[in-house]
């Protein structure tokens, strides 16, 4: 969540709508332009934080709060060597359908096509391990 959103209710409480500190309109200018790859990364990060971080960790390093409940552990998505196509497949269908752990849930019925595509773009953007083959 952008800082200004978190700060906004507080601003509204204080001084009858006068915002102290962050200027929400200035911060909003940082939102990537619609239709750009940056916007997809931005949206994908929101999807990731909401649905995936509990297991995969806030930085996608496989160490979320629930990670220790699972063997094998949730994958480190920063160092993952899987390509975008594979990631989309396991995200849609879940681990079990691709012969992996059933604890990687299927998201195909939960997320929209745009959310899935955005989260794949986000994972691509944070990956350092050459899982970049299309
Ligand atoms: C309940 C815990 C849990 C949640 C929530 C979860 N995952 Fe996973 N995920 C796993 C586990 C466990 C594995 C490892 C499966 C294995 O190794 O057999 C995994 C594996 C993966 C992989 C394979 C990566 C690789 O390198 O092989 C991807 C991609 C992935 N998850 C993406 C996601 C995304 C995106 C979300 C959110 C939409 C998500 N996961 C939510 C548990 C979870």
Digit-coded pLDDT (tens) for 91-114: 999 999 999 999 999 999 999 999
Q: For the beta carbon of residue 19, count every other beta carbon within 10 angstroms.
A: 16
Is there a contact between 56 and 77 (Cβ–Cβ < 8 Å)? yes
Q: Report the candidate in 85, 56, 80 with the shortest Cα–Cα distance to residue 47.
A: 56
% of the chain with per-residue pLDDT over 90: 72
Residue-level pLDDT at 133: 45
pLDDT digits (tens, 9 = 90+) for 16-55: 545 555 555 666 667 899 999 999 999 999 999 999 999 9
Between residues 1 and 78, the one the model is more confident about: 78
Structure tokens belonging to residue 73: 């552990």
Residue-level pLDDT at 30: 79
Structure tokens belonging to residue 47: 């999807």
Residue-level pLDDT at 29: 66
Q: Is the pLDDT of residue 85 over 60?
A: yes
Q: What is the C-alpha separation between 52 and 78, in angstroms, rounded?
A: 13
Mean pLDDT for all residues in the chain: 86
Residue to mutate, 63, 75, 94, ligand 1, most ligand atoms under 8 Å from C-beta: 75
Q: What is the C-alpha separation between 55 and 107, in angstroms, rounded?
A: 14
Residues 6+ apart with CB under 8 A from 17: 11
Q: Which residues line ligand 1 (CB under 6 A)?
A: 51-52, 54-56, 66, 70, 72, 74-75, 77, 80, 82, 87, 90-91, 95, 100-101, 103-105, 107, 119
Q: What's the mean pLDDT in 46-65?
A: 98
């Amino acid at each position: 969540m952008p800082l200004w959103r978190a700060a906004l209710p507080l601003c509204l409480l204080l001084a009858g709508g006068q915002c102290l500190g962050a200027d929400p309109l200035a911060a909003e200018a940082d939102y990537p332009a619609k239709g750009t790859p940056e916007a997809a990364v931005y949206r994908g990060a929101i999807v990731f934080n909401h649905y995936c971080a509990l297991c995969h960790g806030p930085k996608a390093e496989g160490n979320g709060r629930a990670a220790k409940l699972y063997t094998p552990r949730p994958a480190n998505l920063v160092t993952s060597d899987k390509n975008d196509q594979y990631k989309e497949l396991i995200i849609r269908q879940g681990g079990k359908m691709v012969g992996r752990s059933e604890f990687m849930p299927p998201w195909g019925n939960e997320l929209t096509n745009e959310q899935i595509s955005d989260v794949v773009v986000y994972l691509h953007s944070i990956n350092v391990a050459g899982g970049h083959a299309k």
